[in-house]
Structure 1
Amino acid sequence: MIQYASDEVVTGGIAGWATDLMDRLGAPGAGLAIALENLFPPLPSEVILPLAGFTASQGRMGLAAAILWTTLGSVVGALALYGIGAAIGRDRVRALAGRLPLVKVSDLDRTEAWFARHGTKAVFFGRMIPIFRSLISVPAGVERMSLPAFAGLTTLGSLIWNLTFVLAGYRLGESWHTVEEYVGTYSKGVLAVSAAAVLAFAVLRLVGARRGARRTDRM
């Protein structure tokens, strides 16, 4: 069970794990937790960041240090995913796309064209969208986006996201966990929209395939 009190250590689950890192390593522990959150999106930044702010409000680490190290952790985690995308490479992604049901290589062409036009905005604003804040680094690596541009945009986007939630935890104090409730609703909304988009894509592609099959049979 997680307990919240100014003189108690938060125990249990992800909060307990993050608290242990911060108690052992201080602000670098918060940075390490956020770096891992980037690599493993199920780890929620909406828990780790407000908790870092709460920890800073208790004097266990400096507020500026918490913001600095969590932002550094975000960038390190994003660069690792960028490297994975670059290692996979465009050719492998295209080969994989050709084997996936309902996916066409032409879909990848359109995606690449879109990323070429809007990649900078996607990387910057993507850092403020749950789940996508981690995943956006992979296509950036696949497309070999300019590394300085990627690092700069990731730093700015991450700084805004981290600053917001660390300060919220700092100001809310023992009630830092209420941040997770609000952001959890936001995250569920993002997942619902994403799932609806995937479903709509699959339905449209299946309908198109059936129509194409009917035309072929008539010929």
Structure 2
Amino acid sequence: MKIKYIELFWGENNELIYGVELKNNKALNKYIDKIKILHHKHVLGEEYFELCFNRLYRGKVIKNKFYLLRNELILYIFFLKNFNNILRHLTKKEVNIEHDFLFKDQGKIVLSSIGEEFVKLSNEVYGGKRIFFILDKDEFSQYIDLLEKIYYKKNNLDMGYYINNTRYILSKEEKNKLYLDALYAFADEALDKKDKSGFYSICNEIKKLELSNL
């Protein structure tokens, strides 16, 4: 599975967004077929999570999206982990396991076992098309792990290498990027604390730095 981390950026509704993009090994179209997990955090402290499933279907790009609050995301994670535990103990006689997860007023995700090694992750929004992804056991476990990291806000950007490796000399562009990443992290922390003045002060610094890089 190919994993791409999506760094913090500004959304259209005055919110910070970050997340991860996944492309499974059996994707038919490596450019379009993808899964995204996004965390949205508004300036007032409100937050929600977005699950995106993009797939090329009969010449058209289908984009199914589901929106969850924090307490709903953890239920979805438990649902996936429960299915994963069942999958580990499957025998050859039990190869047609299927579980559903319903999103209120949105649609559903259906997990199906394919033999003993693969999971079919289907999703359908109400009034839309059903699309699916085929994940092997390791990819399915990775998907769950990444959801948990987003839920628990674990930072996947390893800045320690640059700080601890004294032989590595940062270029101006790398320094600016490192500083910008840190500012976004501080802005995210200010949102957690609902510190409006601190948040806007950091935002002004971010804008100055971004303008200087143009």
Normalising by structure 1, report the TM-score. Answer: 0.23
Which structure has the larger Rg over C-alpha atoms?
1
Q: Which has the higher contact order (CA 8 A, sep 6+)?
A: 1
| Higher percent of residues as helix | 1
Normalising by structure 2, report the TM-score. Answer: 0.23
